[in-house]
Amino acid sequence: MKRLFSFLFGISMAVLPTLAQDSDMIFAFVNENGDILEDGATVVRNHVEAYDEDGTEVIYSGVSVKNISGTASDYLKVIYVIEQMDNGTFQICFPMTCNMKTEEGYFETAPGQLMGDLQDLQTEWFPTEDGTCIVTLFIEVLTKTPTFPPNYIHKADGPTLTLQFVKGGSSNPIKGDVNGDKEVNIADVNEVIEAIIKADATNTAADVTEDGEVNIADVNAVIDILLK
């Protein structure tokens, strides 16, 4: 048992350097009040509004991108990972084009210039029923070459932000949130490890793979969610 714990603890510690990434403060995410959001922050939104005349429901992120020290030659690309979407459609518009998705996965926007010092991302979820939508955003700063056609060269990594949209009294948990703190982090990996060591069958949240057992596959599942 001690050997198993040492192995699992080694896995959980090995993932930490991968997740810790420094970002350059060239651009930043800001909230509706203009406050800069800390790199790696989570924003929870649950206010449902009517989108148009037919009563389509929408939850807005209220998040914008702010130019901190960027130049006229800087272009931005938003990489976004939809980690969970129980129903409906997720949309992101940046800077002039809109992408709409109906499934989980890894996606990118086209590169574009920031239109002024501040630009609304128009990041929103259109739910069709109660549930949860979780999306992590990453900013990549690019430099545009003067060639034709132009190339976009990586300049810096910008901040990361997780958006958690919640509609209604959803009973759907965040996948991988074993300890129930509404985030998926290294603490959840350790929670699964503890459930394995204690053979705690009552901790149903630790069964991340939903195969009826709590084992090393559940540890790997949480790590996989973290790495995404």
The average confidence (pLDDT) of the chain is 84
Would 24-167 and 175-227 be classified into the same CATH topology? no
pLDDT tier at 136, thresholds 50, 70, 90: very high
Q: What is the DSSP string of 36-73?
A: BPPTTEEEEE---EE-STT--EEEE---EEEESS--TT
* CATH code reported for the domain at 24-167: 2.60.40
> Residue range 2-23: average pLDDT?
45
Specify which residues 34 forms β-bridges with: none
pLDDT tier at 17, thresholds 50, 70, 90: very low
* Of 24 and 65, the one with more pLDDT: 65
* Digit-coded pLDDT (tens) for 149-184: 889 999 999 999 999 999 986 545 677 888 877 678
* Of 162 and 146, the one with more pLDDT: 162
Please report, for residues 36, 47, 85, the alpha-carbon distance to residue 125 in angstroms, rounded to integers and kept in the order given.
Answer: 22, 11, 9
- The CATH fold assigned to 175-227 is Type 1 dockerin domain (1.10.1330)
* Digit-coded pLDDT (tens) for 71-83: 888 999 999 999 9
* Of 131 and 4, the one with more pLDDT: 131
* Digit-coded pLDDT (tens) for 38-55: 999 999 899 999 888 788
pLDDT at 57 over 60: yes
* Of 13 and 204, the one with more pLDDT: 204
Domain ranges, ordered by start, for the chain = 24-167, 175-227
Burial 88-116 (b: 16+ CB within 10 A, else e): bbbebbbbeeeeeeeebeebebebbebee
